[in-house]
């Protein structure tokens, strides 16, 4: 089973709202990722958690706040977003260890629209 | 800088014909290369990867890729295209930084006509 689930599938929020995106995997992976993808562009890495600790933050604005409460869950808390933050947000997970094991498996994404 | 390039924005092929989606890489050290496919409004699906060993890598849905070190290429191929193969294809490289960081190419849209 290589399934990563994400909720919600779609989200519309105002610039003053607070919302959260959720990601879950039950593959025993110990690395989880958030990506942002604009239309017709490649995914851009935002955050990486390894063993529930933040290991990479790609200089993402503080209005995006990640959280990894346990090895199966990954959240992305959103606050005071801008319209340019509208995008598809993808979650991925992978094993940690040898590079050969670190295939990232992606969820279906949350399509976010900021008004 | 370590990167991959996909020189074609779009590839058109007729159903039943062979297809090739091109990818070249620029990496210091041994490259770890990946192909993913994305259907409209969906996440990325892993197709195959090259880590080491045989230069011809077989993956999901009948796809394969050939690693060519001298040409620094990792082209995706399929002997007989299906209309359902129409999607956006991304080549990616894992950076040799000790972190699990993938860098993606710009993507190639494959259109298979009936």
Which pLDDT tens digit goes with each residue over A42-101? 999 999 999 999 988 888 999 999 999 999 999 999 999 999 999 999 999 999 877 777
Inspect the interface and report whether the beta carbons of A103 and B34 lie closer than 8 Å. Answer: yes
Residues A97, A60, A88, A73, CA torsion sign: positive
What's the pLDDT at A76? 98
d(C-alpha A76, C-alpha A47), whole Å: 10
Question: Are the C-beta atoms of B38 and B88 separated by less than 8 Å?
Answer: yes
Q: Which among B34, B58, B55 is positioned nearest to B46, based on CA atoms? A: B34
Inspect the interface and report whether the beta carbons of B43 and A48 lie closer than 8 Å. Answer: no
List, as ranges, residues 72-111 from A with C-beta within 8 Å of B: 88, 90, 92, 94, 96, 99-100, 102-109, 111
Q: Is the pLDDT of residue A115 over 70?
A: yes
What's the pLDDT at B30? 81
**Residues of chain A with C-beta less than 8 angstroms from the C-beta of B88:** 40
Tokens of A70: 């346990």
What's the pLDDT at B53? 84
d(C-alpha A106, C-alpha B46), whole Å: 8
Interface of B with A (CB under 8 A): 32, 34, 36, 41-46, 49, 51-52, 88, 90, 94, 99-102, 104-107
Inspect the interface and report whether the beta carbons of A104 and B100 lie closer than 8 Å. Answer: yes
**Residues of chain A with C-beta less than 8 angstroms from the C-beta of B94:** 99, 102
d(C-alpha A32, C-alpha B38), whole Å: 19
Longest pairwise C-alpha distance within chain A? 43
User: pLDDT per residue over B39-98, tens digit each?
Assistant: 987 889 999 999 888 899 999 999 999 999 999 999 999 999 999 999 999 999 987 766
Q: Which among A115, A93, A92 is positioned nearest to A43, based on CA atoms? A: A92
Q: Is the pLDDT of residue A102 over 90?
A: no
- Average pLDDT of B6-19? 97
What's the pLDDT at B98? 62
Question: Are the C-beta atoms of B82 and A26 separated by less than 8 Å?
Answer: no
What's the pLDDT at A1? 54
Q: What share of chain B is helix, strand, coil (3-state, %, to 5)?
A: 5, 50, 45
* Pairing assessment for the beta strands A73-79 and A31-37 based on DSSP bridges: unpaired
What's the pLDDT at B7? 96
């Amino acid at each position: 089973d290589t399934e990563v689930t994400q909720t919600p599938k779609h989200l519309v929020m105002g610039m003053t709202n607070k919302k959260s995106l959720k990601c879950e995997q039950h593959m025993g992976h110990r690395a989880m990722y958030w990506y942002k993808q604009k239309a017709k562009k490649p995914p851009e890495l935002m955050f990486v958690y390894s063993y529930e600790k933040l290991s990479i933050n790609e200089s993402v604005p503080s209005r995006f706040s990640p959280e990894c409460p346990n090895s199966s869950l990954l959240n992305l808390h959103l606050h005071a977003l801008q319209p340019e933050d509208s995008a598809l947000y993808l979650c991925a997970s992978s094993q940690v260890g040898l590079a050969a094991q670190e295939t990232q498996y992606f969820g279906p994404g949350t399509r976010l629209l900021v008004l | 800088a370590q990167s991959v390039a996909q020189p074609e924005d779009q590839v058109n092929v007729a159903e039943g014909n062979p297809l090739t989606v091109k990818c070249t890489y620029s990496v210091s050290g041994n490259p770890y290369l990946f192909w993913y496919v994305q259907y409209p409004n969906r996440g990325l699906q892993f197709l195959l990867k090259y880590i080491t060993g045989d230069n011809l890598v077989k993956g999901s849905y009948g796809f394969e890729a050939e690693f060519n070190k001298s040409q620094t290429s990792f082209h995706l191929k399929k002997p007989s295209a299906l209309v359902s193969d129409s999607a956006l294809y991304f080549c990616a490289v894992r950076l040799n930084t000790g972190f699990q960081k993938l860098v993606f190419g710009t993507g190639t849209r494959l259109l298979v006509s009936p």
